[in-house]
Structure 1
Amino acid sequence: MTMNKGLNRRTFLRNVGLAAVAEIVGCTKVLPEIAAINLKNSPVKNKLPKWKGFNIADYFQPDPWYVGGNTPEEFFRWVADWGFDFIRIPVAYPTYLNITPQQKYITADDVYKIDENKVNQIEKTIYLAQKYNLHVSLNLHRAPGYCISTGYHEPYNLWTEKKAQDAFVHHWSFWAKRFKNISYRKISFDLLNEPAYRDNVNDTSSKTTAVPGTLYRTLALAATTAIRKENPASYVIADGNNGGSDIVPELVDLNIGQSCRGYYPFEISHYKAPWVYPDPAYQPTPLWPGTVGGRYFSRAMLEEYYKPWLNLVKQGVGVHCGECGCVKDTPHNVFLAWFGDVLDILTTNGIGFALWELKGDFGILNSNRADVQYQDWYGYKLDKKLLTMLQSK
């Protein structure tokens, strides 16, 4: 995930749950259409479809002044033509509030000032993707009281204050009402991007830890109940704990999915990423497989890393990889070797993925890599090797 200047992004790793494959929270009935999809696409009976596609960054920056570039319609057509079926849209809630441009400090009252015109723009993007039969995952990248990124100001803390938790549920109730008549096949709801506990959500130096499991459960249950009140069949996504790195045992019985990240190890995926490594001069050159910074990197380490996620699928919990990829400075051959192993482990176990991102430093279009022979694609620079590998999974 690319970040704007001043944002100190800490954790990235894995998980983003998914699903709402039954009627309401706690119900164990599985929709027959979903069961059929699983049996068709996966040797492992993953309760989630093996969606494959991309994130788009139109609305994800956490600052209220951010105005994203709208993804052109032809991008969605290309994604579908290339054989993919999934778009994840991470959204920072200030991007759809009726607040003053350039406003840094958001008040508790501001959080409820939803701007219909701005919502319409997000809705238009969703419908454009769905026009090309792409399933859309709507995600709150910044929610009332929390964002994995810092460098902004929230009026309260999602993890410690009920006002923030009530606002969080309110926003999900709003979005669920907005799309209550849209089939679960077309849209899902990704509750919160990469949750991690931070005492002071506005402190750039504050360390993050895992959210207490019972707290995460309470919040996920409340939001899921609000969503399924509008459409009982909705897929609901819960990102992994500790910034996306850990499965969440406390959510297993809630009939919602979980999702991992495809960024491990950071020495490969985030080589010279300034929001992770402020001084890239001291980073060893990535290798795959090979020894980097005194650690031996190999497929075996990846298999061990993803084992909890594969076991989660075996327990009957749907799993999807909501984000994965590699920033532009990692040598391309190293990136492809490593990423091929990541995707192979996931997809052979019935787990789909979404590349971060479609266009940009992690993407297949205009990724700004110095060691790629790009193919001209209607005025954009296409990383054809990466595209071909993604298509093969």
Structure 2
Amino acid sequence: MQNDWTTNRRKFLQKSALLAAGTFALGNQPTWAQPTPLANPLPRWKGFNLLDFFAPDPANSRPATTEQHLKWMADWGFDFVRLPMAYPSYVSFDRSKPIQVEQVRNIDTQATDKIEQLVFLAHKHGLHVSLNLHRAPGFCVNAGFEEPYNLWQDAQAMDDFVFHWSFWAKRFAQTSPDKISFDLLNEPCTREDMNDQHSKRGPIPGELYRKMAIQASEAIRAANPKHRVIADGNNVGSNVIPEITDLDIGQSCRGYHPGIISHYKAPWVFKEMDQLPEPKWPGQVGNQYLSRAMLETMYEPWIALTKQGVGVHCGECGCFNKTPHAVFLAWFEDVLDILTEHKIGYALWEFRGSFGMLDSGRDDVAYEDHHGYKLDRKLLTLLQKY
């Protein structure tokens, strides 16, 4: 038995093919005979990114997510968490030196047990978990770790990438697709210099993206053919991936547009902080007018994708803590409203921290004490609305 979004998508494609054949043979059909576009085949999951395993070195990991945190998420009405993982965080090697190719598969089972424990704690509280390789063998959108090869150029890197997904798929082979999904690779892109956070980026050639998606998804579904697979948009999550729409793979967009709002004064994005125009929403910012209309245009290809029978979810969204809070909330409500209108779920980056709902460190928020944490009640209320 296939999962719902796969089954619905297949029925849609079959129906479309039959209708197309009939149109070719018989000419134009009456409007009632045209295929009805599907709703988004992926569930409208709503929740958070958890950064417990985000750092390549566990010594630099964020404060651990507790069972109490997961309970709060569920009690507040959320049903989804995404775990962006750096593969070096659960691999054994000499951390005083760059990792070597022969060390990439040295799985540290004590570390993977911790990941598994968090997954099952989330399941205990009714939360779907999306495992994501944020740093994969040979690629990460972020600098800060020296890779021994390039995922897009070296066959060994791709083999090791597939090995890691095979490991996780087998680990959760008996877990229902209603409870777990596999998000292949965070924000694929090219970069002139992988060690320079500010170097120019661009989209991965479509045939390379397809090759990666096929190899990884086949390895995942070898462990369980029902496993649900998701691929992040090309070009740092911003572009639909037309090359994989036939592969029964969902696609993940982002809620960060425009960057002058979502990443205002984020040091890993902007070098010249003093030259940045003050963010407004809506309003004139620098040489462009920012408005809901620009968001609607940006999301048009993603909305069209759902109508083709491909599932879409917004795997990351949110705003760095230097953007004025009122501007953030006004912009973010438009983002959430557009996504919700088209039945696209979302995951805030992050639960705790500078983008988060707890302890975000904003200067212009009257925080509410919540069991010793600083809760952004206005943000929580907005999220609950959508």
Provide the TM-score with structure 2 as the length reference.
Answer: 0.90
Whether 1:28 aligns to 2:13 is: no
- 8 A Cα contact 2:80 2:127, kept in partner: yes
The residue that corresponds to 2:90 in the other structure is 96
Distance 1:76 1:206 in 2: 37
Whether 1:158 aligns to 2:155 is: no
The residue that corresponds to 1:76 in the other structure is 70
Deviation of 1:225 after TM superposition, in Å, equals 0.5
Whether 1:226 aligns to 2:219 is: yes
Q: Deviations over 1:338-369 (max 9, x none)?
A: 00000100011000000000000101100111
Query: Runs of at least 4 residues of structure 1 off by over 6 A?
Result: none
The residue that corresponds to 1:59 in the other structure is 53
Distance 2:60 2:146 in 1: 14
The residue that corresponds to 1:391 in the other structure is 384
Deviation of 1:233 after TM superposition, in Å, equals 1.1
Distance 2:131 2:385 in 1: 26
Whose helix proportion is higher, 1 or 2? Answer: 2
Deviation of 1:99 after TM superposition, in Å, equals 1.7
The residue that corresponds to 2:27 in the other structure is none
Query: What is the root-mean-square deviation in Å for CA atoms of aligned residues?
Result: 1.8
Deviation of 1:273 after TM superposition, in Å, equals 0.4
Q: 1:374 aligns with which of 348, 364, 367?
A: 367
Alignment: residue pair count: 359
Q: Deviations over 1:186-232 (max 9, x none)?
A: 10000000000235534556432110001100110110011011111
Q: 1:330 aligns with which of 297, 319, 323?
A: 323
Distance 1:381 1:172 in 2: 36
The residue that corresponds to 1:352 in the other structure is 345
Distance 2:279 2:244 in 1: 36
Distance 2:198 2:282 in 1: 33
* Greater relative contact order (Cα < 8 A, sep 6+): 1
Provide the TM-score with structure 1 as the length reference.
Answer: 0.88
Change (3 A) 1:148 1:85: same
Tell me the amino acid that sits aligned with residue 330 of structure 1.
T
Deviation of 1:294 after TM superposition, in Å, equals 1.5
The residue that corresponds to 1:46 in the other structure is 40
Tell me the amino acid that sits aligned with residue 54 of structure 1.
F
- 8 A Cα contact 1:288 1:337, kept in partner: yes
Aligned residue for 1:287, secondary structure, equals: coil
Distance 2:214 2:73 in 1: 33
1:150-299 aligned within 5 A: 150-198=143-191, 200-202=193-195, 204=197, 206-299=199-292
Distance 1:144 1:265 in 2: 30
Tell me the amino acid that sits aligned with residue 117 of structure 2.
K
- 8 A Cα contact 1:373 1:383, kept in partner: yes
- 8 A Cα contact 2:197 2:268, kept in partner: no
Distance 1:206 1:146 in 2: 14
Identity %: 58
Tell me the amino acid that sits aligned with residue 116 of structure 2.
E
